[in-house]
Amino acid sequence: MDLLIPDPGLIVWQLVGFLILVFILGRFAWKPMLGALKLREQGIEEALKSAEKARDEMAQLQADNEKLLQEARAEAEQIRKDARATGEKLRQQIEEDAQKAAERIRKDAEADIQNQKQALLTEVKNQVATLSLEIAEKVIRKQLGDQDTQKGLVDEYIKDLNVN
């Protein structure tokens, strides 16, 4: 049993050695280890804060990007509307110009037809007059074929001249 019960002197020396060991470890090992742990804890906290800040910035950037995307969509829609309106105005202008041109062409054609009609009428009148003169000449020659009839006609014209 002596082996199981330690000697009181041994306990004192072990206690003194333990206290010296605790003092040496506390002085040289624990302070640097605690300082390193504290630095590591601060680094982790700073990294967490940086990550949180980066996440907030990403959320802000994403919101800004979404806002810009919405603005771009709205601007594109406005451009499409303006293009449609411009196209419609251009189409209407082209239709109006085409109608005016068609009306002008129709009026020119009517005027041309009228001029040709007048020219034909004039030509027909001239031909009728020529034919009438030829017919009248033939009739007069046939009727005034003898000398006595011609003298009577000349005398009648002279009487008319004197009266006038």
Q: What percent of the chain has pLDDT over 90?
A: 58
Q: What is the pLDDT of residue 147?
A: 73
Do the domain assignments include residue 47?
Answer: yes
Q: How many domains does the chain have?
A: 1
Do the domain assignments include residue 3?
Answer: no
Question: Which residues have CB under 8 Å from 150's CB, separation 6+?
Answer: 144
Q: What is the pLDDT of residue 88?
A: 95
Arithmetic mean of pLDDT, 100-125: 93
Q: How far is CA 104 from the centre of its chain?
A: 33
Write out the E strands in 108-158.
Answer: none
Do the domain assignments include residue 37?
Answer: yes
R_g over Cα of the chain: 66
Residue 17: pLDDT band by 50, 70, 90 thresholds?
Answer: very high
pLDDT(16) > 80:
yes
Arithmetic mean of pLDDT, 99-107: 94
Do the domain assignments include residue 90?
Answer: yes
Q: What is the pLDDT of residue 144?
A: 66
Residue carrying structure tokens 């189409």: 91
How far apart CA 158 and CA 8 sit, in angstroms, is 195
**pLDDT tens, 34-89?**
888 999 999 999 999 999 999 999 999 999 999 999 999 999 999 999 999 999 99
pLDDT(120) > 90:
yes
Arithmetic mean of pLDDT, 112-141: 85
Give, as one character, the DSSP assignment of residue 1: -
Do you know the residue count of the chain?
A: 164
Q: To the nearest whole number, what is the mean pLDDT of the chain? A: 87
Do the domain assignments include residue 102?
Answer: yes
How far apart CA 41 and CA 6 sit, in angstroms, is 44
86/157: higher pLDDT: 86
Residue 159: pLDDT band by 50, 70, 90 thresholds?
Answer: confident
Full residue range of the structural domain in which residue 36 is found: 8-163
DSSP characters for 25-93? IIIIIIHHHHHHHHHHHHHHHHHHHHHHHHHHHHHHHHHHHHHHHHHHHHHHHHHHHHHHHHHHHHHHH
Do the domain assignments include residue 42?
Answer: yes
Say what the alpha-carbon torsion angle 45, 48, 53, 56 is, to the nearest 10 degrees. -140
